[in-house]
Structure 1
C-alpha cells in the first residue's frame, strides 16, 4: 500500500488555497528511520530530498518544491538524502490526533 501522491512544482495559487504558508514546519538531518502515519499528512517540501519506502511497496522519491500526500495508516522507512525542511498539515485537530496516538499504544 503506497498511495503516496506527489504533485511536482504545484502552482502558487494551489499552495495559497491550501494555506501552506501558515502550516508549521519540520526539519530533519540526513538519516534513515521508520515511520507510521496515524493520519493523512500533506507536506510541502521547502528543501531536501527523500526516499520513502512503504512497507511491502516500492520506493518513492520527492524533494524541493513537491507537494506530497501521505495516507493515514502508512508504515514506511524514510531515507533523508539531503537535509529536509517542510511545511506540513495533519488531518483532524490536536484532540483527534492525540486520541489516534493513544489508541495506537493500547493493547486491544
Structure 2
C-alpha cells in the first residue's frame, strides 16, 4: 500500500493549479474514529491538527493547517482530531465509481 504524502505549505500557484478553492469542504470536531479510504483523497487543511495511525502498526502521521495531504486508496486507519478540522478535499474517480467502491467495501468487511 502507498504511503500518506504531506506537502507542507504548498504555493498559491500549486493550489490554484489543483483548483483547491473549488473543492468541497469537510469539518470535524475533536474526536477519535476509524476510517477507510475507498479511493485516493487529496485534502488541503484550512484549520486544525490531526494524527492518523494506519492499521497494522504503521507509524502515526500528523498534519495541520496549511498541509496538502494525499491519502492512498485502501488505507485503513484511525483518525485523532486534536484541534477542530476544516479541510477542502477531492476524491479520485467518478461519482458512480465512488458509490461502487463504498458498496463493495460495505459487503467485504
Scaled by the length of structure 1, the TM-score of the pair is 0.96
Distance 1:107 1:10, change over 3 A: closer
Secondary structure at the aligned position of 1:52 is classed as strand
Distance 1:81 1:32, change over 3 A: same
What's the offset of the Cα at 1:2?
A: 6.0
Query: How many residue pairs get matched?
Result: 108
What's the offset of the Cα at 1:106?
A: 2.5
Matched with 2:92 is 91
Structure 2 CA distance for aligned equivalents of residues 14 and 84 of structure 1: 22
Secondary structure at the aligned position of 1:16 is classed as helix
Structure 2 CA distance for aligned equivalents of residues 29 and 107 of structure 1: 29
Q: Deviating runs (4+, > 3 A) in structure 1?
A: none
**Matching of residue 82 in structure 1 with residue 77 in structure 2:** no
Scaled by the length of structure 2, the TM-score of the pair is 0.95
Matched with 2:29 is 29
Structure 1 CA distance for aligned equivalents of residues 3 and 37 of structure 2: 12
The gaps in structure 2 that reach 5 residues or longer are none
Secondary structure at the aligned position of 1:38 is classed as coil
What's the offset of the Cα at 1:70?
A: 0.2
